[in-house]
């Protein structure tokens, strides 16, 4: 495993992070038993992963807590998240304080390393910044969390409208950013600002269904063609991304996609999620491989460099 410092924090993190949400949610959404899901977290640790990302909404915090029960607390970086309360909530500050306490109980720890505002939509950002950030700052002063983070709702906001607001503030230690070879818009809209402020970045959506299922990829490419963001001859080609796996390059399109994100300047950690041990091993192996060749990176930029409308989900 390779490690890096996460932005301006003191956290030393693996370049691969275990995502406990997504479609799989450690396999809990696809039929895993609790013990099988616990085994995935422990396998991640065995592979050198030390950053575990979960959330109240995922329903996997308790599994993570059980998996880490015998692990020294300072050997793992735990991130979790909470969605913003409804607009008419009578006590949003109290909801966040109680939410963190409940997360700590499920995780079996007395602090989290990163506490994210989860999936903040553009119209919610002002409320998040003005009302909730002071609550998180207070919780950090109490030692309940170490870093304050924000994640975008990338499926709804593939153009990064939320994070383009957030990068103007000094309060965010870590951001979770959607980025893939199909949507590279964070390269110009987010990463220059996070790098300038030394904000840590966790990359999400590196693969998802569009880069792991042929039918979904074709549907996404058709959407891009219809919106004028991709030439018809590319969208309708028999194997439009085959150049990434030809002549002994990447073994698969997901491998190429992970390698592409892993070596993107501005991304500290690439999140990968699964409920299968062998799948996790393959994903980590991909993230530890060299960058794609420069010719292919340039070709991807030519093809998708102007795309900001798809998440790949």
- Residues with a known catalytic role: 58
CA torsion sign for 145, 197, 77, 186 is positive
Give me the residues paired with residue 84 across strands: none
* Count of alpha carbons within 13 angstroms of residue 183, beta-carbon side: 29
**Measured distance CA(3)–CA(260) in Å, rounded:** 18
């Amino acid at each position: 495993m390779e490690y890096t410092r996460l932005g301006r924090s003191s956290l030393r993190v693996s370049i691969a992070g275990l995502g406990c949400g997504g479609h799989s949610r450690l396999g809990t959404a696809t039929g895993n038993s609790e013990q099988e899901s616990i085994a995935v977290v422990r396998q991640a640790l065995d592979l050198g992963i030390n950053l575990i990302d979960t959330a109240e909404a995922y329903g996997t915090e308790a599994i993570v807590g059980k998996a880490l029960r015998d692990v020294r607390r300072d050997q793992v970086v735990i991130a979790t998240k909470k969605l913003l309360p409804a607009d008419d909530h009578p006590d949003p500050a109290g909801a966040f304080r109680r939410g963190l306490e409940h997360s700590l109980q499920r995780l079996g720890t007395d602090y989290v390393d990163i506490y994210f505002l989860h999936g903040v939509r553009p119209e919610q950002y002002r409320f998040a910044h003005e009302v909730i950030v002071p609550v998180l700052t207070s919780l950090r002063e109490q030692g309940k969390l170490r870093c304050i983070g924000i994640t975008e709702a990338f499926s709804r906001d593939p153009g990064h409208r939320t994070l383009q607001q957030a990068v103007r503030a000094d309060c965010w230690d870590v951001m979770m950013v959607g980025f893939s070879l199909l949507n590279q818009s964070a390269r110009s809209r987010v990463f220059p600002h996070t790098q300038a402020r030394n904000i840590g970045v966790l990359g999400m959506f590196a693969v998802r269904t569009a880069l792991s299922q042929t039918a979904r990829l074709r549907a996404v490419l058709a959407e891009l063609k219809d919106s004028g963001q991709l030439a018809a001859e590319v969208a309708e080609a028999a194997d439009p991304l085959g150049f990434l796996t030809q002549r002994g390059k990447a073994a698969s399109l997901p491998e190429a996609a992970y390698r592409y994100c892993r070596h993107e300047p501005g991304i500290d950690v690439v999140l990968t999620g699964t409920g299968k041990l062998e799948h996790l091993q393959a994903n980590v192996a991909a993230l530890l491989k060299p960058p794609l060749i420069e010719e292919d990176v340039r070709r991807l930029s030519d093809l998708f460099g102007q795309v900001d409308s798809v998440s790949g989900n």
